Structure 1
Amino acid sequence: MKNTIKNIILIISAFTVLSLSSCSDYLNTEPTTETTVESTGKVIATAAEAESRMTSVYASFGGEYWQLDYFFNGDAQTDNAYAGSDNTQNFQQDEYRILSTNTNVSRDWGYIYDNINKCNFILNYIDEPKDLPAARKEEMIGEASLVRALNLFHAVQLWGDVPIATKAVVNVNQDNFEEVYPQLYPTRKPKQEVYAAIIADCETAIQKAPASTNKFRANKGAANALLAKVYATKDNPDWAKVKQYSDAVITGAYTLLPNYENLFDTAHEGNSESIWEANGEGWGSPVGAWGTSMFYGTDWKKFMTPSNDLIQTFTNEGDVVRKKSSVIVKEVSWTDNYWTSAGYPFAYKMRITDGKQNFYILRLADIILLKAEALAQTGDNAGAMTLVNQVRARVGLPKVSAASQGDALDLILKERKMELAFEGHRWFDLKRTAKAIEILSKQKDDKGAILPYAGNLNQDRLLWPIPQTKKDANPNLIQNPGY
């Protein structure tokens, strides 16, 4: 099989010139070459080309994964939201019956590894331009390392064992085929190795990325925050490390905004609570924030419709402030199984439809609650509740206390549900805390009946299938159990 692939790929490389920065087939089949490489002998010839490569890295936050699928995956697969709209691929996700042919799953694999590949071009070839100042080169290494770590972190949470891509393949020939083959046709690496690679990239970012004040770029504070989440998520969480890296954030130059609504009103971009945010600067900018219109507006039935369960949670808790910022109710021209046309809810945190909507990749409240979890996991329930109550005080809710470790962890998980709704966290939180099946199998409609698809979720369905298109193109990829 390998010799057959070798012959095919050498024939392709002899007759095909593909764009280096467009790699929808990366980790599938073809190598890539570029005419500028042929003319200059360099992948990145100048500082200007290096900056252009870096712009393309940040432009990935304007792509379909980060604008749409990240939020849908994180919330519509949970008790926070229903699928909404009319896309059968999304219904599969919402109802825990994804097929390996699901096109959303396939495109997310493609987007994530394309984003990683863009980072690899910088990390592999940043030494080439002689006019790039040394300090800027080091910053670029830190930025690209952290963006690569972020994308790989999403991959390992979605699929479990995944390939670790560290090389951008520029060309393939008879002499280098054995070297590039593992990059073109990779195997899935055990999660332990994947997390080690993520941690190494984050550590590089702590050393080299821009200062924490650069909230629209991958920065040192974001590297600390991502490491806290990584150490909490890996199979054997390291709670001491979670506390260490959470503290590096909490004791840094961040504070909770006094007014929760200011987080999402677009008048407070790059605020004191923001650790790292994608910067929507309008149409034509690298991150033209088109994703807002996928969730908000009455012109068609949108994706990620707020659930009865989430709204009931806000109501039961008396959480008027976060409910108002998270959900808006409109009159629409349609009905569905869950809501009437007279009072139809929309996710409201992303609400600006002129392409200028920013969204958070990491913010302080997330890390405060993550540290609370680490404290509860190590026996300090009182300390955990102090942090939870700090977050609750911002929205005018009374203090809570925990009678046991289990009680503390449940309270933290509920607080994260209300604080971070529609920010793409819930699915990953439920999996990380081993609560997904317990909670999602009991989802109810507005009449108190268990949702008909709630029982579809099982241990195998906590991971996505390897996309069939990727598996067909790469014989080295092994499918996840249950698919």
Structure 2
Amino acid sequence: MKSSIYHLFFAVVLGASALSISACNDLLEPTPVQQLPDNRAITDAGSARSATIGVYDRVQTYYQLNWPVLGFLPGENVRFNGTLNQFLQIDQNQLSADNVLVTEAWTQMYQAVNGANNVIAALPELTDPLLPATEKDQLLGEAYFLRALVYFDLGRGWGGVPLVLTPTRTKENGRGLRRSTLAATYDQVLADLTQAETLLPDATTRNRAVKASARALRARLHLYRQQWSAAETYATQLIGSSNYRLVTPYRAISTAPFLSNEAIFELTFSNSDANSMWNNWFPSALGGQFNFQPVPAAIALLNDPTVGGSRSTLLATTTIAGASVTYGNLYSRSAQRDDPSYVLRLAEQYLIRAEARARQGKLSEALADLNAVRSRAGVPASTAATTEQLLLAIENERRVEFAFEADRWFDLVRTGRADDVLGVTDQRRWLFPIPFNDLVADPDLEQNPGY
């Protein structure tokens, strides 16, 4: 899978499309990205396999940089250590509709949707003796899972979004498709996950979707929808499986060859298919740009043996101009450039179930789940006794456990705590803006309020 995420598909001012459309038409009539075509024909076993890998590639593209940044930088663990306005806007929770990273993420995500739509449309009618029925089901299930993942991320980032469920071949396809509600967007995610689970194999593959991947994402979906019993049920399926366990030490989750027993779904890279995320975290003395820097409060938490425990390995230090500098070390393989993108892992399932149980008044069971994660990190057991204490303890645990993953901002938004914790008082700013280019291209597309 290739990962070319650093080009823009649309520039803010008279941007040229990444598609092969004439420059004149680009300038006069831009194409909204949820209508970008994907003309790869799926006609046989080989092209079906390639098209499915292509969908993973598109998901990998938005998970390599833009999506994690939108997940951790608006929170309070990380600051942008530079002057680029597109990052500063995210760091300061002052986004504009022409923000480059937001535009890139939206573009990349709808390209992934369109790739999945092509697979979903073509495979049921495809006949090739070299494509057994079981493999066809698997490829189809993977496409449904990946489309569900993208629409889930779109929903938690932008709220209700246009639901494009068929391939878009030209810029006219889907024009005038209005935004769905967030509830309808999540309903589509659920429908896709339900279909995926019936089609996917019951295997232990960790960098391609299997039944467990669909179940883990469904647990997260139910948590976001405040469907506590369902969230508990689906998380329990993962926790109870002998295929998954919390690994020790904590650093084992991000140590080659990766795909540890804790990993449910990761996006993998290699030296030839490089993940350059490390470059944004490492100081210049180590060959990086040091764009993202852990803030002192997060450093203190991770280094506190009663809070961070073994998760202190998410940090590393070096000396610059005679001074000690601390940097984020989750993406640490700068020479090999094969750090994965972390999407679903078992620690989250424990904390999903802990929160779901606490919300249902199952306090002792919730505390046990919370302490399972704390025990793995080598920190003392929590003594939270009330529902309020437990929920805050779980929130704080998630902050440390997923310190540099695409998690903190979305946690604070879904729980309504972005104001209390971050001081983002304007709740309209809890959603990202629809990119300006799409609004210009499709007048039926409505902007989120406040932008």
* TM-score, reference length from structure 1: 0.82
Which structure is larger by alpha-carbon Rg, 1 or 2?
A: 1
Taking a change above 3 Å as real, the CA distance of residues 133 and 170 of structure 1, as seen in their structure-2 partners, is farther
> Is the aligned partner of 1:261 residue 2:251?
yes
1:309 CA drift (Å): 1.8
In the TM superposition, what whole-angstrom CA distance separates every residue of 1:386-413 from its partner, at most 9, and x where no partner exists? 1111111112211112231111000001
Structure 2: segments with no counterpart, 5+ residues: 1-19, 24-29
Aligned equivalent of 1:40: none
Taking a change above 3 Å as real, the CA distance of residues 440 and 94 of structure 1, as seen in their structure-2 partners, is same
Equivalents in 1 of 2:426, 2:385: separation in Å?
A: 30
Aligned equivalent of 1:309: 297
> Is the aligned partner of 1:233 residue 2:224?
yes
8 Å contact 2:308–2:379 — kept in the other structure? no
Aligned equivalent of 1:54: 52
8 Å contact 2:68–2:405 — kept in the other structure? yes
Equivalents in 1 of 2:234, 2:214: separation in Å?
A: 9
Aligned equivalent of 2:124: 127
Matches within 5 A, 1:263-342: 263-267=253-257, 269-283=258-272, 285=273, 288-298=274-284, 299-316=287-304, 318-319=306-307, 321-332=309-320, 342=323
- Aligned-partner SS, 2:65: helix
8 Å contact 1:373–1:409 — kept in the other structure? yes
Matches within 5 A, 1:57-456: 57-63=55-61, 65-131=62-128, 132-170=131-169, 180=173, 183-234=174-225, 237-252=226-241, 253-267=243-257, 269-283=258-272, 285=273, 288-298=274-284, 299-316=287-304, 318-319=306-307, 321-332=309-320, 342-353=323-334, 354-441=336-423
Equivalents in 1 of 2:99, 2:251: separation in Å?
A: 36
8 Å contact 1:71–1:424 — kept in the other structure? yes
Taking a change above 3 Å as real, the CA distance of residues 391 and 220 of structure 1, as seen in their structure-2 partners, is same
Equivalents in 1 of 2:419, 2:388: separation in Å?
A: 17
Structure 1: segments with no counterpart, 5+ residues: 1-14, 19-24, 37-42, 334-340, 442-455
Equivalents in 2 of 1:110, 1:360: separation in Å?
A: 21
Taking a change above 3 Å as real, the CA distance of residues 187 and 103 of structure 1, as seen in their structure-2 partners, is same
In the TM superposition, what whole-angstrom CA distance separates every residue of 1:30-65 from its partner, at most 9, and x where no partner exists? 77485x8xxxxxx311111111101111112442x2
Give the AA of the match of 1:255.
R
Equivalents in 2 of 1:29, 1:314: separation in Å?
A: 40
Equivalents in 2 of 1:270, 1:104: separation in Å?
A: 28
Equivalents in 2 of 1:29, 1:258: separation in Å?
A: 42
- Aligned-partner SS, 2:75: coil
Taking a change above 3 Å as real, the CA distance of residues 254 and 297 of structure 1, as seen in their structure-2 partners, is same
Equivalents in 2 of 1:17, 1:471: separation in Å?
A: 21
8 Å contact 2:308–2:400 — kept in the other structure? no
Matches within 5 A, 1:38-49: 43-49=41-47
Taking a change above 3 Å as real, the CA distance of residues 123 and 399 of structure 1, as seen in their structure-2 partners, is same
Taking a change above 3 Å as real, the CA distance of residues 81 and 28 of structure 1, as seen in their structure-2 partners, is closer
- Aligned-partner SS, 2:323: helix
Equivalents in 1 of 2:387, 2:151: separation in Å?
A: 31
Equivalents in 1 of 2:38, 2:417: separation in Å?
A: 46
8 Å contact 1:155–1:162 — kept in the other structure? yes
1:317 CA drift (Å): 5.5
- Aligned-partner SS, 2:320: coil
8 Å contact 1:276–1:360 — kept in the other structure? yes
- Aligned-partner SS, 1:343: strand
- Aligned-partner SS, 2:124: coil
Give the AA of the match of 1:345.
T
Aligned equivalent of 2:11: none
Equivalents in 1 of 2:156, 2:189: separation in Å?
A: 12
- Aligned-partner SS, 2:326: strand
